Amino acid sequence: MTAVPLNVAHVAVPGAIKIVRTLKAMGFIAYWAGGCVRDLIMGRSAKDYDIATNAVPDKVMELFPGAVAVGKSFGVVRVPVCGNWYEVATFRKDAEYMDGRHPSSITFSDPETDAHRRDFTVNALFYDPLEQQVIDYVDGRSDIARGVIRAVGVPADRFREDHLRMLRAARFAATLGFTIEPATENAIRGSAVWITLISAERIREELNRLLVEAKQAGDAIILLRDLGLLQMILPEVAVMEGVEQPPEYHPEGDVFQHTIIMLNEMKTDDYRLAWAVLLHDVGKPPTAQFKEGRWRFECHAKVGADAARVILERLKFSCDDRDVISFMVGNHMRFIDVKSMRRATLRRLVGAPTFLSEMELHRLDCASSHGDLVNHEYLLEFRRQMDSEPVLPEPWVNGRDIIALGIPEGPEVGVWRKKAYDAQLEGTVADREALLEWLREASRQ
């Protein structure tokens, strides 16, 4: 163990240092632990600073007023210091894992024992910020230098203990730009079926992070496939591979390859857009037909929207997420017709809350296939033309106005409200009075 000054300039550091100093002043061992140490060694900004200590939870809570025991049975306490919250965990040794996720019990231990029960060597490092010393019992610094994700100890044992670690290995490799070392990789392949035993919510959160944090989200999906995990958690995506497409529209290859290129081209922190990209052609495998000399996918967008909803429900996405993502999947082909759309239809399209995400999905779709961005440019120009006025202004007339014209209450009022708003959006009338007069004449016919 050698002195290793790290770049720890971060708003949370004063509190994290104060916790270590307080614990050490009372005679305890205290280090920063896990991902923050890895990130600082790599020169990355650490998001969270976790502290590991040999002080038991009751002593931690005694030393830090306002501390909350969030996992006391596992030795975890949340501590408020300098306006931020930190997790302080007691060094521990885990008993047997019974549910593929949590140990049946724990016993408090020492730093070396604690390091050896962690998932990957790059996450099993400690750092003493007062002595500026990295404490490495698992050769994690060497793995960081080599860009390798390696399980601590026997890989199969780590994945048997906690099945989610398999998906985390893929996420760490994809987000850090690392490779997975062969023994760890083989253990994942041999244990991939266990991932189906993990809760849908945890799988969803790992996939969300993988899609928006990976250096190349498409390569991350290929990694999941190569590890055998994609087939377990997203079989509808896995079966895209080998589904041929007409080369005049898709010279890049099959449906899976097209999606991978789109994901690699994508740069976003919006997980909804990322899922829309991943699933936009999920309706192609079930609709693929070779007709009239080429492959066709009739109604694949609608079929895809239904399939996306099933997938998102399975992964326990919120109702709002399911609605937005499946809407984008189901409507991603409508951009083909923008030049023939009425002005009112265009304004509704441009004024939709999902428009910018839909536009980016369309751009990625075209750029990753035939390369024709004419419709994309057309819509950008139309949107620029709308900069001087609301794309979707307040309607000039409402249901009461329409009833006052003699239209009976009921569904017909809604029909006329839409016609009136279309006329307003089209610019066929100049103002409210002209629109009311137009409605009088039209309703008499």
Q: What is the CATH number of the domain that holds 63?
A: 3.30.460.10
In this structure, is residue 47 part of a structural domain? Answer: yes
Residue 286 lies in a domain: yes
Name 31's bridge partners: 52
Show which of 89, 114, 146 is a domain's final residue.
146
Are residues 313 and 340 part of one domain?
Answer: yes
Residue 436: domain span: 399-444
Residues 162, 218, single domain; the answer is yes
129, 146, 163 - which closes a domain: 146
Could you tell me if 67 and 154 lie in one domain? no
Domain assignment present for residue 220? The answer is: yes
Same domain flag for 210 and 140: no
Reported pTM: 0.87
The residue among 173, 56, 195, 73 whose CA lies nearest residue 123 is: 173
d(CA 106, CA 109): 9
Whether 141 and 159 map to the same domain: the answer is no
Instruction: Judge whether 255 lies within some domain.
Output: no
* Total tally of structural domains belonging to the chain: 4
Q: What is the reported pLDDT for 169?
A: 98
Q: Are residues 425 and 334 in the same domain?
A: no
- Domain contains 70: yes
Say if residue 93 is in the same domain as residue 52. Answer: yes
- Structural domain contains residue 193: yes
3 state SS for the chain: CCECCCCCCCCCHHHHHHHHHHHHHCCCCEEEECHHHHHHHCCCCCCCCEEEECCCHHHHHHHCCCCEEEEHHHCEEEEEECCEEEEEEECEEECCECCCCCECCEEECCHHHHHHCCCEHHHCCEEECCCCEEECCCCHHHHHHHCEECECCCHHHHHHHCCHHHHHHHHHHHHHCCEECHHHHHHHHHHHHHHHHCCHHHHHHHHHHHHHHCCCHHHHHHHHHHHCCHHHHCHHHHCCCCCCCCCCCCCCCCHHHHHHHHHHHCCCCCHHHHHHHHHCCCCHHHHEEEECCEEEECCHHHHHHHHHHHHHHHCCCCHHHHHHHHHHHHCCCHHHHHHHCCHHHHHHHHHCCCHHHHHHHHHHHHHCCCCCCHHHHHHHHHHHHHHHCCCCCCCCCCHHHHHHCCCCCCHHHHHHHHHHHHHHHHCCCCCHHHHHHHHHHHHHC
CA–CA separation, 166 vs 86, rounded Å?
26
**In angstroms, rounded to a whole number, what is the distance separating the alpha carbons of residues 26 and 63?**
9
The pLDDT value given to residue 11: 45
- The CATH number for 183's domain is 1.10.110.30
How far, CA to CA in Å, does 326 sit from each of 210, 259, 265, 358, 413? 20, 16, 21, 11, 30
Last residue of a domain, one of 88, 111, 146: 146
Note whether residue 368 is domain-resident: yes
111 in the same domain as 78: yes
- Both 115 and 195 in one domain: the answer is no
- Per-residue pLDDT 10s for the chain (445 aa) are 555 566 655 445 889 999 999 999 999 999 999 999 999 999 998 888 999 999 999 999 999 999 999 876 778 999 999 889 999 999 988 767 766 667 767 788 899 999 999 999 999 999 999 999 999 999 999 999 999 999 999 999 999 999 999 999 999 999 999 999 999 999 999 999 999 999 999 999 999 999 999 999 999 999 999 999 999 999 999 999 999 999 988 999 999 999 999 999 999 999 999 999 999 999 999 999 998 888 899 999 999 999 999 999 999 999 999 999 999 999 999 999 999 999 888 988 988 899 999 999 999 999 999 999 999 999 989 888 887 778 888 888 888 888 888 888 888 888 888 888 888 888 888 888 888 888 888 877 6
> What pLDDT sits at residue 439?
84
Q: How many CA atoms lie within 13 A of 118 on its CB side?
A: 25
Same domain, yes or no: 60 and 140: yes
Q: Is residue 257 part of a domain?
A: no
Residues 36 and 138 in one domain: yes
Please tell me the distance from the alpha carbon of residue 161 to that of residue 100, in angstroms, as a whole number.
Answer: 5
Do 60 and 21 belong together in one domain?
yes
Q: How confident is the model at residue 301, as a pLDDT?
A: 95
